[in-house]
């Protein structure tokens, strides 16, 4: 019985360190709650007083009856005020504390490189700051108040019972304890049933969401006949599990009535048979009323204890995020990067991704002993097949995560010693999926340079020769892009991301297939603009189309995590290695391969 | 995360409307299984009857047992046994009522929810994509999940509330019969409690709706910010994001505290009021006992009854709360269920041919949004067995044409004919046996590779393997732990974009369609692999007309004919050479790369010239080349 509670207490105590509002003034709240529950026992006490003192004694003193009534009313009003204050204080503490916890967790998540390492975990991280916090909020709102008021009521009722008759009070307490144990056992069964409900409910939802999100595919392939039975089956499974669990729940709930009935019968029987010394008729009747006040909190407390496990699990998950060590740390004191274009050097760099979300062990290395010196102002193209490690390579350069082995230096400063403020303003990368926020084009561009005026934004667009494109947008740079930029095409989103990077005026620009979705004709123009603009800056481009590589000062060819070739385009083609093969394939796709679809493409490149 | 941010119920509705709409909703939901509802109400009445009975027993025990024995010192004699058995009997009676009510009400609610979900999916399957897109996938998902559940919330407390109404009438009757004065006081008390409770429920509900919207905002910011984490980190904007999230979280916090202020106030009052009322009635009753108008047992009965009423009476407030939520949710469900934009079908049966199909489009105009035409007056004729590439700049309507050919959408005006049959005249299910469409984004189901490729089509494993081979997917599928039977998990998260596209392609090919529509369906496939697939398709022996929306030159060059779109019209059609010679826009698009490549060559030549004049300053000495022998082997792991 104490275990889930203990978990909850430890979890809350730890959460309170992060979010002090959670427990601030808790003792005052508890005191008020105890005061508040007196309202509940006023009625039985008043009955006892009225019956024993006035009615049965036969005095019939109207004055005294009115006095008892008046005092009782006063007690009720006081208890209403105290209850109200206690409940509100608790709710406010929860709202404030959980807001603090939410923000702290959110801020911490952004410091975790996990976000970039395991994008599939993003959904669960969102859950940490939304649904997990909601679970805790709901628990505090319902369970916290229940626990507070319930235990206060239980204690008070027992005290009053003991005053009336210690023997009966002891018997009732004993019965209550047995009943609580019975309920706990019952709850375990119920919990299993509800686990099943949750499982089936999740299955039903995933079947539903598959049918809805996959609607176009289902329609295109006439797969309705396959899908509907699956949906129906999942829904039916959930329906059955839910009904079964609720029936058991109803039986458990109804046991309270059986218990109340038996307890009432027992109190009357013991009372009239044993007639303990001080027991009057009024006191016995008051005890009957107290019994009804005794059962509800037991039931409530057992339910709360049960739910406490869920809430404690929620808090633990949130704390788990807060406990996750920040791997990529802003160094203190950080060093500034020297002004001007940046040189890049890698020495024996290895990298492996974590095997899975739970463990800290790493999988097979995706980068192996990479050694590179790139002088300042070089324009580098990075090529390689999918999975060759080229994307990981550029992510390491912007320190989205640190290498598992080896060192990276920018103009002689080790990357992990560079202050974030300096690094993030001088080294800018543009990923393949340029993420846009639900705001205007201008605001999204400004994200790269907060405070930039509309003119500066327009200027940046002009420099990239994108003014014609901007002019075609419905509201120019003030066009709203919609959620995740949904109102723009994938190519247009990339354009915005590119301007956003450019307006930050980086000294090392990293483009990771940043224009892969852009219209071919536009891409050519864009690439020339980028080349013109990055003159005198270092630029590293993961090339989607090998025409980029043709123009680079240097081409790095990645294969299986290593740099297997490097040099100028023409030299590499002439060498007849990996690059020449890649290039031949690409060339066949980009401009040749007509002459009869059946012939093999020219394997040894074109020149 | 699609938390509905619909117009709040309270902004447009009065409490009376909630009652009216709620009644209509209940009738709609109960229609399916009225007997369940009747059983639940019966259970509730059974329970409330037992409450009155228990008060009667306690009252009787007071007069006949407790006072005579404890007050007057009489012997217990045979008086105890009837009291105890009556108390136990009534307890059993109550318990039976609870099980019957809760069991039936739950079954009623869960079944209604299941039915709504089934109905929703069926309605969506029969509705046009225009309606589907209008609702938005996110909102539809949240409607199917949250709204169908909330819309049935009203069914859980309703039977009990009906029972409570019965209880109120019974209790007032019993108390009035005991003593008219006490009856009037009790009636007044209960009415006040119910009124205050309802008022509190309405005000709290209003506040919670607002809180819900703010909660949606918090979730929205979190989602956006974490999804855009790469951008946030790369540009070092963590602090800005934190401030944004904090503002949303505090906005929610303030609302929760505001609602809490109202809620706790009403809750404390509705909890205290019955006690206060009971005390007033006790005082009045005591005076009546002293007057000799009623017995002590009768006073105990009245007080006991009132104390048992406190919790059930609050049920009316809960009912109101749940009804408000249900009505709001139902509006969102009804918007989908009452969608009046169905996909219509004719009765024309399959052609019975396996030969490639011809398709024509005449006078087709089309728009997603009525104001922005995407295709206008489009004329097109594709001969059976040909491979046609649809080419055009971004926004020219290529993809729209593809979805019209597969009849995912219908044109606004004009018609498309498959072998002379209007697509809309085909009987349900016919089109998908003759036409296969592959989109750029691949949707994979939570099923095995085999299940995903077959997707309900009556094909055997060998056919699936053939299709996979043709789609260049066989090698990586073989390498999966369970081969064809490997479960892909939700949305095939473990596969790369190119692998997913190849599975989608196999899914189309396994059906041996007469018309295959590829909408940039190999965009994520490595160029070298794409070239292999396209050559394979070209060589394939299966007869089918192929329409391919192409963004790569190689794809275009494989086609027999090119349709060049510009601004939603067919600007030109013909062979590659013809178009190259005659259409400037086409030439511009296609030549972009070649032009660029030529420029490079020119630049490099100039570079070389310059290099001969001065040494390369940006080429340091002593650069180390890693040993490329070890890395190069098996480099193209996907090459068979």
Most B CBs within 10 A among A18, A22, A50, hence the mutation to make, goes to: A50
b/e per residue A522-549 (b: at least 16 CB within 10 A): bbbbbbebbbebbeebbbbbbbbbbbbb
Render pLDDT for A151-203 as a digit per residue (tens, 0 to 9).
888 999 999 999 999 999 999 999 999 999 998 888 888 888 988 988 898 88
Render pLDDT for B432-490 as a digit per residue (tens, 0 to 9).
889 999 987 788 888 899 999 999 888 899 999 999 999 999 988 998 888 899 888 65
Q: Helix/strand/coil (H, E, C) string of A432-449?
A: CCCCCCCCEHHHHHHCCC
pLDDT score at A598: 28
pLDDT score at A602: 27
CA of B282: which chain A residue's CA is closest? A47
C-alpha distance from A5 to closest chain B C-alpha (Å): 25
Residue A367 predicted with pLDDT over 70: yes
Residues of B in contact with A62 (CB under 8 A): 287, 290
CA of B408: which chain A residue's CA is closest? A220
Most A CBs within 10 A among B96, B234, B633, hence the mutation to make, goes to: B234
Residues of B in contact with A130 (CB under 8 A): 1, 215, 218-219, 222
Residue B632 predicted with pLDDT over 70: no
Residues of B in contact with A40 (CB under 8 A): 275
Residue B596 predicted with pLDDT over 90: no
Contact between A211 and B296 using a beta-carbon 8 Å cutoff: no
Separation of alpha carbons A137 and A216, rounded Å = 38
Q: How far is CA B95 from the centre of its chain?
A: 38
* Start-end of H helices in B292-370: 296-337
Contact between A225 and B225 using a beta-carbon 8 Å cutoff: no
Q: Helix/strand/coil (H, E, C) string of B457-513?
A: CCCCHHHHHHHHHHCCCHHHHHHCCCHHHCECCHHHCCCCHHHHHHHHHHHHHCCCC
Contact between A212 and B144 using a beta-carbon 8 Å cutoff: yes
Residues A450, A530 contacting (CB under 8 angstroms): no
Partners of B388 in beta bridges: B547, B561
Q: Which two tokens stand for residue A445?
A: 């561009």
Averaged over B152-167, what is the pLDDT?
90
Render pLDDT for A253-269 as a digit per residue (tens, 0 to 9).
888 889 999 999 999 99
Contact between B636 and A428 using a beta-carbon 8 Å cutoff: no
Separation of alpha carbons A47 and B69, rounded Å = 18
Phi-psi region of A566 (alpha: psi -120 to 50; beta: other; left: phi over 0): beta
Question: What is the DSSP secondary structure assignment for residue A480, as one 8-state letter?
Answer: B
Percent over 70 (pLDDT), chain A? 91
Separation of alpha carbons A501 and A447, rounded Å = 9
pLDDT score at A111: 86
Contact between A578 and B240 using a beta-carbon 8 Å cutoff: no
Contact between B141 and A447 using a beta-carbon 8 Å cutoff: no
Separation of alpha carbons B312 and B328, rounded Å = 25
pLDDT score at B494: 65
Nearest CB partner across the interface for A51, out of B287, B296, B624 = B296
pLDDT score at A28: 92
C-alpha distance from B476 to closest chain A C-alpha (Å): 13
Band (B606; pLDDT cuts 50, 70, 90): low
Residues of B in contact with A134 (CB under 8 A): 215
Mean pLDDT (chain A, rounded): 84
Nearest CB partner across the interface for B628, out of A109, A226, A565 = A565
Band (A357; pLDDT cuts 50, 70, 90): low
Residue A417 predicted with pLDDT over 60: yes
C-alpha distance from B626 to closest chain A C-alpha (Å): 6
pLDDT score at A586: 67
Q: How far is CA B505 from the centre of its chain?
A: 27
B359-369 and A413-414 as β-strands: parallel, antiparallel, unpaired? unpaired
ipTM entry: 0.83
Residue A3 predicted with pLDDT over 60: no
Residue A5 predicted with pLDDT over 80: no
A554-559 and A379-384 as β-strands: parallel, antiparallel, unpaired? parallel
Contacts 24+ apart (CB under 8 A), B615-618: B618/A375, B618/A377, B618/A378, B618/A553
Residues of B in contact with A246 (CB under 8 A): 102-103, 106-107, 110
Helices (H) and strands (E) in chain B, counts: 23, 10
DSSP string, A523-556: HHHHHHHHHHHTTTSEEEEE-SSTHHHHH-SEEE
CB atoms within 10 A of CB A295: 21
Band (A307; pLDDT cuts 50, 70, 90): confident
Contact between B282 and A47 using a beta-carbon 8 Å cutoff: yes
Find, among B275, B272, B309, the residue nearest to B172 by Cα: B309
Separation of alpha carbons A260 and A254, rounded Å = 10
Question: What is the DSSP secondary structure assignment for residue B435, as one 8-state letter?
Answer: E
Residues of A in contact with B528 (CB under 8 A): 582, 585-586, 588-589
Residue B617 predicted with pLDDT over 60: no
Residues of B in contact with A483 (CB under 8 A): 224
- Count of CA atoms in the C-beta half-sphere (13 A) of B249: 26
Question: What is the DSSP secondary structure assignment for residue B575, as one 8-state letter?
Answer: -
Residues of A in contact with B99 (CB under 8 A): 247, 250-251, 254
- Residue reference for tokens 């916890």: A101
Averaged over A237-244, what is the pLDDT?
94
Answer with the residue of higher pLDDT: B609 or B124.
B124
Separation of alpha carbons A91 and A135, rounded Å = 14
Nearest CB partner across the interface for A253, out of B98, B618, B634 = B98
pLDDT score at B595: 56
Mean pLDDT (chain B, rounded): 83
pLDDT score at A359: 56
C-alpha distance from A3 to closest chain B C-alpha (Å): 30
User: Under 8 Å CB-to-CB from B136, ≥6 apart: which residues?
Assistant: B2
Averaged over B52-75, what is the pLDDT?
88
* Start-end of H helices in A454-543: 454-463, 467-472, 490-503, 520-533
Band (A526; pLDDT cuts 50, 70, 90): confident
Averaged over B375-403, what is the pLDDT?
88
pLDDT score at A239: 95
Render pLDDT for A77-134 as a digit per residue (tens, 0 to 9).
999 999 999 989 999 998 999 899 999 999 998 888 765 655 556 677 888 888 788 8
Averaged over B188-216, what is the pLDDT?
86
Find, among A403, A324, A310, the residue nearest to A107 by Cα: A324
Residues of A in contact with B554 (CB under 8 A): 588-590, 592-593
By CB atoms closer than 10 A (0-12, 13-18, 19+), residue B482 is exposed
CB atoms within 10 A of CB A203: 17
Q: Which two tokens stand for residue B216?
A: 């949606």
DSSP string, B219-263: HHHHHHHHHTHHHHHHTT-HHHHHHHHHHHHHHHHHHHHHHHHHH
Q: Which two tokens stand for residue B302?
A: 């009245």
Q: How far is CA B46 from the centre of its chain?
A: 39
Averaged over B65-78, what is the pLDDT?
83
pLDDT score at B492: 58
- Answer whether the bond into residue A512 is a cis peptide, omega within 30°: no
Q: Which helix (H) or strand (E) holds B416?
A: strand B413-418
Contact between A217 and B439 using a beta-carbon 8 Å cutoff: yes
pLDDT score at A206: 86
Residues of B in contact with A400 (CB under 8 A): 230, 233-234
| Best-predicted range by mean pLDDT (A42-46, A598-602, B321-325, B597-601) | A42-46
Q: Roughly what angle, to the nearest 10 degrees, separates helices B80-125 and A224-274?
A: 170
pLDDT score at B167: 86
C-alpha distance from A4 to closest chain B C-alpha (Å): 27
Q: Which of A3-12, A419-428, B422-431 bottoms out in mean pLDDT, i.e. has the lowest?
A: A3-12
Separation of alpha carbons B10 and B202, rounded Å = 9
CB atoms within 10 A of CB B594: 14
pLDDT score at B296: 87
Residue A356 predicted with pLDDT over 80: no
Q: Is A280 helix (H, G, I), strand (E, B) or coil?
A: coil
Render pLDDT for B522-579 as a digit per residue (tens, 0 to 9).
877 776 777 778 777 777 766 789 999 877 777 788 788 999 998 889 999 999 889 8
* Start-end of H helices in A165-280: 166-213, 215-220, 224-274
Band (B496; pLDDT cuts 50, 70, 90): confident
Residue B364 predicted with pLDDT over 50: yes
Separation of alpha carbons B54 and B174, rounded Å = 12
Separation of alpha carbons B386 and A576, rounded Å = 38
Q: Which helix (H) or strand (E) holds B562?
A: strand B561-566
Size of interface A-B (CB pairs under 8 A): 505
Contact between A254 and B223 using a beta-carbon 8 Å cutoff: no
């Amino acid at each position: 019985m104490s275990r889930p509670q203990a978990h909850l207490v430890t979890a809350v105590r730890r959460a309170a360190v992060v979010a002090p509002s959670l427990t601030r003034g808790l003792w005052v709240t508890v005191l008020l709650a105890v005061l508040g529950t007196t309202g509940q026992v006023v009625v039985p006490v008043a009955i006892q007083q009225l019956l024993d003192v006035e009615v049965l004694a036969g005095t019939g003193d109207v004055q005294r009856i009115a006095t008892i009534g008046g005092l009782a009313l006063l007690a009720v009003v006081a208890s209403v005020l105290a209850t109200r204050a206690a409940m509100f204080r608790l709710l406010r503490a929860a709202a404030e504390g959980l807001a603090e916890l939410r923000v702290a967790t959110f801020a911490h998540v952004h410091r975790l490189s996990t976000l970039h390492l395991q994008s599939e975990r993003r959904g669960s991280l969102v859950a940490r700051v939304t649904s997990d916090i909601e679970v805790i909020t709901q628990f505090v709102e319902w369970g916290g108040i229940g626990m507070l008021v319930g235990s206060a009521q239980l204690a008070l009722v027992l005290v009053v019972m003991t005053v009336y008759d210690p023997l009966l009070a002891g018997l009732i307490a004993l019965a209550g304890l047995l009943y609580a144990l019975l309920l706990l056992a019952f709850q375990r069964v119920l919990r299993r049933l509800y686990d099943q409900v949750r499982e089936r409910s999740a299955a039903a939802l995933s079947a539903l969401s598959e049918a809805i999100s996959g609607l176009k595919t289902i329609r295109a392939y006439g797969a309705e006949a396959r899908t509907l039975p699956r949906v129906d089956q999942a829904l039916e499974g959930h329906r059955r599990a839910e009904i079964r669990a609720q029936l058991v729940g109803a039986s458990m709930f109804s046991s309270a009535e059986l218990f109340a009935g038996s307890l009432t019968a027992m109190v009357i029987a013991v009372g009239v048979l044993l007639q303990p010394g001080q027991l009057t008729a009024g006191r016995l009747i008051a005890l009957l009323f107290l019994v009804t006040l005794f059962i509800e909190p037991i039931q409530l407390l057992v339910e709360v204890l049960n739910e406490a496990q869920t809430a404690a699990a929620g808090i633990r998950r949130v704390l788990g995020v807060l406990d996750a060590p920040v791997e990529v740390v802003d160094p203190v004191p950080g060093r500034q990067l020297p002004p001007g274009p940046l040189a890049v050097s890698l020495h024996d760099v290895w990298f492996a991704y974590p095997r899975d979300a739970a463990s800290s062990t790493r999988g097979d290395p995706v980068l192996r002993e990479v050694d590179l010196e790139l002088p300042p102002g070089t324009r580098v193209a990075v090529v390689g097949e999918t999975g060759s490690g080229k994307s990981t390579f550029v992510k390491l350069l912007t320190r989205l995560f640190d290498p598992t082995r080896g060192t990276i230096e920018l103009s002689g400063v080790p990357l992990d010693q560079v202050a974030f403020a300096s690094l993030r303003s001088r080294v800018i990368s543009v990923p393949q999926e340029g993420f846009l926020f639900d705001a205007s084009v201008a605001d999204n561009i400004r994200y790269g340079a907060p405070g930039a005026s509309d003119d500066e934004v327009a200027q940046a667009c002009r420099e990239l020769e994108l003014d014609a494109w901007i002019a075609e947008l419905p509201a120019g740079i003030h066009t709203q892009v919609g959620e995740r930029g949904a109102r723009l095409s994938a190519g247009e989103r990339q354009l915005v991301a590119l301007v956003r990077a450019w307006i930050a005026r980086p000294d090392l620009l990293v483009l990771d297939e940043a224009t892969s979705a852009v219209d071919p004709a536009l891409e050519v123009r864009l690439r020339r603009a980028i080349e013109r603009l990055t003159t005198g800056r270092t630029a590293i481009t993961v090339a989607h189309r090998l025409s980029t590589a043709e123009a680079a000062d240097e081409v790095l060819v990645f294969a299986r995590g290593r740099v297997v070739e490097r040099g100028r385009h023409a030299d590499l083609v002439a060498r007849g290695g990996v690059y020449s093969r890649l290039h031949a394939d690409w060339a066949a796709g980009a401009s040749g391969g007509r002459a009869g679809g059946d012939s093999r493409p020219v394997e040894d490149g074109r020149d | 995360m699609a938390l509905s941010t619909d117009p709040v119920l309270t902004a447009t509705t009065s409490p009376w409307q909630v009652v009216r709409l709620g009644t209509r909703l209940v009738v709609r939901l109960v229609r399916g299984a009225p007997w369940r509802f009747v059983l639940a109400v019966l259970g509730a009445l059974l329970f409330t009857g037992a409450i009155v009975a228990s008060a009667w027993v306690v009252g009787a025990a007071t007069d006949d047992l407790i006072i005579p024995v404890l007050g007057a010192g009489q012997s217990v004699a045979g008086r105890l046994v009837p009291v105890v058995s009556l108390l136990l009997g009534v307890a059993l009676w109550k318990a039976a009522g609870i099980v019957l009510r809760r069991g039936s009400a739950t079954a009623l609610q869960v079944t209604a929810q299941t039915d709504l979900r089934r109905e929703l999916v069926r309605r969506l399957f029969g509705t046009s994509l225009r309606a589907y897109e209008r609702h938005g996938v996110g909102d539809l998902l949240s409607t199917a999940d949250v709204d169908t559940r909330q819309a049935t919330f009203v069914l859980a407390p309703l039977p009990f509330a009906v029972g409570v109404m019965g209880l109120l009438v019974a209790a007032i009757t019993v108390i009035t019969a005991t003593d008219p004065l006490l009856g009037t006081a009790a009636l007044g008390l209960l009415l006040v409690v119910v009124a205050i409770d309802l008022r509190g429920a309405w005000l709290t509900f209003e506040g919670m709706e607002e809180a819900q919207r703010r909660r949606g905002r918090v979730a929205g910011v979190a989602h956006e910010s974490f999804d855009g984490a790469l951008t946030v980190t790369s540009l070092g904007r963590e602090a800005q994001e934190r401030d944004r999230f904090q503002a949303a979280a505090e906005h929610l916090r303030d609302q929760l505290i505001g609602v809490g202020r109202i809620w706790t106030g009403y809750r404390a009052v509705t909890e205290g009021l019955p006690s206060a009322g009971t005390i007033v009635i006790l005082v009045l009753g005591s005076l009546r006992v002293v007057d000799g108008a009623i017995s002590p047992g009768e006073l105990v009965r009245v007080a006991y009854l009132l104390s048992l009423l406190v919790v059930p009476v609050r049920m009316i407030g809960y009912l109101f709360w749940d009804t408000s939520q249900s009505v709001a949710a139902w509006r969102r469900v009804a918007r989908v269920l009452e969608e009046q934009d169905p996909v219509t079908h004719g009765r024309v049966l399959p052609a019975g041919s396996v030969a490639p199909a011809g398709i024509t489009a005449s006078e087709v105009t089309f728009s997603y949004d009525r104001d922005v035409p995407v295709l206008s007056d489009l004329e097109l004729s594709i001969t059976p067995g040909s491979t046609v590439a649809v080419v055009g700049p971004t926004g020219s309507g290529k993809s729209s044409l593809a979805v019209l050919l597969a009849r995912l959408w219908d044109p606004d005006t004009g018609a498309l004919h498959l072998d002379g049959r209007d697509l809309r005249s085909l009987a349900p299910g016919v089109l998908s046996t003759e036409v296969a469409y592959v989109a750029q984004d691949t949707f994979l189901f939570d099923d095995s590779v085999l299940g995903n490729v077959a997707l309900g089509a009556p094909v055997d494993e060998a056919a699936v393997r053939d299709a996979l081979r043709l789609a260049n997917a066989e090698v990586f599928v073989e390498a999966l732990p369970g081969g064809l039977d490997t479960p892909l998990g939700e949305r095939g998260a473990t596969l790369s974009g190119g692998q997913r596209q190849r599975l989608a392609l196999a899914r189309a090919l396994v059906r041996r369609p007469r018309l295959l529509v590829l909408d940039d369906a190999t965009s994520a496939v490595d160029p070298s692999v794409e070239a292999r697939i396209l050559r394979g398709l070209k060589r394939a022996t299966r007869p089918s007309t192929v329409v391919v929306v192409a963004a790569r030159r190689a794809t275009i060059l494989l086609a027999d004919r090119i349709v060049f779109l510009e601004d939603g019209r067919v600007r030109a059609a013909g062979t590659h050479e013809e178009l190259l010679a005659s259409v400037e826009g086409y030439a511009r698009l296609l030549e972009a790369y070649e032009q660029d490549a030529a420029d490079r060559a020119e630049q490099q030549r100039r570079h070389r010239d310059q290099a001969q004049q001065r040494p390369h300053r940006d080429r340091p000495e002593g650069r180390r080349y890693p040993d490329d022998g070890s890395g190069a082997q098996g480099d193209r792991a996907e090459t068979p």
